């Protein structure tokens, strides 16, 4: 992994570049704010030969206008990374997950040759995100003092692990040259062959297992309930899976759920929908990553 920082108007125009391979500079916020130090901070990064990125602090509403403002006002060049900063605004409310998605897709439309990534903290990713859409990669914030070890199941690209003395990050690249090649669109970042289950899907699956634990067991003689519970629990434990495995798992789950649903208890229909929604979520994630 390589190390980098992100800076805004709160940081100096002459921030240190020693020991870092990339820097992501705040460019804009909403539809009216431009970082007054952007030009100087960008010039410093370019002079040091760092991989450069820009981020926009997203507000609710006027999403297309914000995307246009960002790409017009950030001092980007081909090969620079663009990022959406999704968090609480100074007045409290945050953009919705759907607005986050729309903003990133619009930036991607306006600047199709740039990598577009998502920045958010673990709470936003696990509890507020509803689509698992992170564009070209997830920049996750968790100040746990463990570089490269955020507590999420999803694939991540950059981990912001501390804010002291400034925001410091690690990125999953072997070298600065590898990150530059990826940012320029000539390579892909290192990744597993399989696709990770999302945190939202893991939560649904865990809930389904808990529902089974709480449900009366009228099928002890043939153990169908335990077969179903074990099948769902195994989904929860598997972090990575291929598309073929997801399809096979769906067929297995459907078969077991149908068998159990043949017994007494209407509540199993709700469980059946819960499990199928979780599996559908995995396949949606697969299709997004493939495209």
Residue 271 within a domain: yes
Does residue 275 contact residue 232 with C-beta atoms inside 8 Å? yes
Res 90: pLDDT: 87
Higher pLDDT: 193 or 119? It is 119
Q: What is the mean pLDDT of residues 112-123?
A: 96
> If pLDDT is split at 50, 70 and 90, which confidence band does 198 have?
low
Does residue 152 contact residue 140 with C-beta atoms inside 8 Å? yes
Same domain, 173 and 206: no
Res 154: pLDDT: 86
Boundary of a domain, candidates 126, 148, 183: 183
Dist. CA 169–CA 38, nearest whole Å: 19
Res 232: pLDDT: 58
Q: What number of H helices and E strands is found in the chain?
A: 9, 11
Assign 228 to helix, strand or coil: helix
Same domain, 24 and 99: yes
Q: Please give the model's pTM, rounded to 2 decimal places.
A: 0.67
Residue 18 within a domain: yes
Same domain, 44 and 131: yes
Which residue segment(s) compose the domain that 160 sits in?
2-183
Dist. CA 85–CA 275, nearest whole Å: 32
Boundary of a domain, candidates 130, 148, 183: 183
Task: Return the CATH number at 153.
Answer: 3.20.20.80
Residue 111 within a domain: yes
Kindly report the CA angle at 254 between 248 and 259, in degrees rounded to 5?
Answer: 130
Same domain, 165 and 210: no
Residue 190 within a domain: no
Count structural domains, the chain: 2
Residue 34 within a domain: yes
Least confident of 116-125, 131-140, 145-154, 191-200: 191-200
Res 192: pLDDT: 42
Same domain, 140 and 273: no
Same domain, 148 and 28: yes
Residue 188 within a domain: no
Residue 109 within a domain: yes
Same domain, 19 and 83: yes
Boundary of a domain, candidates 183, 204, 237: 183
Task: For 79, list phi and psi in degrees, rounded to 5.
Answer: 95, -5
Same domain, 14 and 148: yes
DSSP class of residue 130 equals S
> If pLDDT is split at 50, 70 and 90, which confidence band does 195 have?
very low
Same domain, 165 and 74: yes
> If pLDDT is split at 50, 70 and 90, which confidence band does 291 have?
very low
Same domain, 279 and 151: no
pLDDT at residue 270 above 80? Answer: no
Same domain, 149 and 230: no
pLDDT at residue 73 above 70? Answer: yes
Return mean pLDDT, the chain: 81
What is the CA 54 to chain-centroid distance, rounded? 17
Residue 259 within a domain: yes
Same domain, 62 and 9: yes
């Amino acid at each position: 992994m390589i190390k980098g920082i992100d800076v805004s108007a709160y940081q100096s125009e002459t921030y240190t570049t020693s020991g870092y391979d990339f820097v992501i500079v705040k460019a804009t916020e909403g539809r009216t704010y431009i970082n007054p130090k952007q030009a100087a901070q960008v010039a410093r990064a370019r002079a040091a030969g760092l991989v450069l990125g820009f981020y926009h602090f997203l507000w609710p509403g006027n999403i297309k206008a914000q995307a246009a403002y960002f790409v017009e006002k950030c001092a980007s060049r081909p090969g620079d990374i663009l990022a959406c900063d999704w968090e609480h605004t100074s007045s409290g409310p945050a953009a919705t997950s759907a607005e986050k998605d729309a903003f990133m897709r619009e930036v991607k439309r306006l600047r199709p040759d740039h990598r577009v990534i998502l920045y958010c903290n673990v709470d936003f990713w696990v509890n507020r995100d509803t689509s698992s859409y992170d564009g070209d990669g997830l920049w996750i914030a968790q100040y746990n003092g463990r570089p490269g070890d955020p507590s999420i199941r999803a694939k991540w690209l950059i981990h912001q692990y501390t804010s002291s003395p400034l925001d410091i990050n690690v990125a999953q690249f072997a070298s600065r040259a590898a990150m530059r090649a990826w940012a320029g669109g000539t390579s892909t970042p290192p990744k597993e062959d399989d696709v990770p289950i999302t945190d939202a899907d893991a939560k649904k699956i865990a809930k389904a297992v808990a529902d089974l634990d709480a449900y009366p067991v009228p099928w002890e003689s043939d153990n169908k309930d335990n077969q179903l519970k074990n099948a769902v629990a195994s989904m929860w434990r598997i972090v990575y899976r291929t598309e073929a495995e997801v399809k096979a798992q769906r067929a297995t789950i459907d078969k077991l759920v149908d068998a159990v649903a043949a017994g007494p208890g209407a509540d199993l229909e709700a469980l059946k929908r819960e499990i199928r929604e979780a599996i559908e979520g995995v396949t949606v994630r697969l299709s997004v990553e493939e495209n």
